Amino acid sequence: MGSLTNKIYGKVYNAYKKIQETYSYWSYRQNNPAISPENKLLLNVGAGNWKCLGWLNLDFPSEWYKSAQEKNNFIAYDIRSDKIPFESNSVDAIYCSHVIEHIENEFVKNMFAECYRVLKKDSVFRIACPDAEFLYNISQFRSDYWEWRKYDWFKSDLFNKKLIPREVDFLVRDIATPKLLGYKFSISQEEYLEQFNSMPMNDFFDFLTSDLNFRQECPGDHINYWTYEKMRHFLQGAGFENVVKSKYMGSCCCEMTIRCKFDLTYPGMTLYVEALK
């Protein structure tokens, strides 16, 4: 009986949140007419189950994300092989949230160049991803920071249930998932703890990720790391001259300031960067 009550409560709560989000969204649009996306081409790259009126979703078709992708229409797009299917200088804004940590550097570099190609002059490309530098620094000492991760990952069947994760284990999970104990490319805790304690930050991240590649059967794995300096270097290499370290809900583009639609994924661990063409 208790289980049934919890299920009913969960459905009612989810319905309430949906109504709340919808009301919040339309209320925001009515009070901020400048954000109207009419006659604008707005793209979300790697959108998953995200949906926002006026925005087109580009995503990688996969069994891993099938349940999320079935809810929304999307344009099939593989960052690792495809060009963005729009004309040069035709797109008004691009949003990309928690995607590039799943892709190797060379393909992210190509995707950044594609975003630069399709964006109109003075348009904005907004990227959100795990903030590797912050996560590295917060993992240098014991704290309650990682409590939010403890039960959604380390209690799964992939790992030794007797494992008591330390700060560095959480860090490895969010930088190089396959290196965790129980995974195909795992290394011992002692090995990466030794390197964590002896290597400079970027060297440690390179040590973790240098031999990792995207695997189609596990597209949700994190295989890459991003700091602001690394991302700025890549964006400038793609042609963007104006690159800024942004904040949660701090976009320069009014279309990306809808609180119930943008920057929803783990804001407490996220790096936000914007590049203006």
pLDDT in the model for residue 60:
84
- pLDDT at residue 15 tops 50: no
Residue 147, helix vs strand vs coil: helix
First to last CA, the chain: 57
pLDDT in the model for residue 81:
93
82 DSSP assignment: P
- pLDDT at residue 122 tops 60: yes
207 DSSP assignment: H
Measured in degrees and rounded to the nearest 5, phi and psi for residue 172 equal: -60, -40
Lowest pLDDT segment from 24-33, 48-57, 268-277: 24-33
Q: What length does the chain have?
A: 277
Question: Percentage of the chain with pLDDT > 90?
Answer: 59
Lowest pLDDT segment from 33-47, 106-120, 214-228: 33-47
Q: Tell me the C-alpha distance between 139 and 44, whole Å.
A: 31
User: Which CB contacts under 8 angstroms, 24+ apart, belong to 105-113?
Assistant: 105/224, 105/234, 107/79, 107/80, 107/214, 108/79, 108/224, 108/234, 109/234, 109/237, 109/238, 110/79, 111/45, 111/79, 111/84, 112/234, 112/235, 112/237, 112/238, 112/240, 112/275, 113/238, 113/239
pLDDT 10s digits, 77-99: 999 999 999 999 999 999 999 99
User: pTM value?
Assistant: 0.84
The boundaries of every CATH 3.40.50.150 domain in the chain are: 32-130+226-276
| Inter-residue contact 254 to 35 (CB < 8 Å) | yes
- pLDDT at residue 12 tops 50: no
| Residue 177 burial class via C-beta count within 10 angstroms: exposed 0-12, middle 13-18, buried 19 and up | buried
- pLDDT at residue 178 tops 70: yes
* CA-wise closest residue to 114 among 249, 275, 228: 275
The number of C-alpha atoms within 13 Å of 51 and in the hemisphere containing its C-beta is 11
What mean pLDDT is reported for the chain? 84
- pLDDT at residue 114 tops 60: yes
Lowest pLDDT segment from 22-36, 122-136, 137-151: 22-36
Is residue 53 very low, low, confident or very high in pLDDT (cuts 50, 70, 90)? Answer: confident
Q: Higher pLDDT residue, 184 or 188?
A: 188
pLDDT in the model for residue 10:
46
Which segment, 5-14, 58-67, 77-86, is predicted with the most confidence on average? 77-86
When the candidates are 3.40.190.10, 3.40.50.150, 3.90.1150.10, 3.40.50.620, the CATH number that belongs to 32-130+226-276 is 3.40.50.150
| Inter-residue contact 97 to 263 (CB < 8 Å) | yes
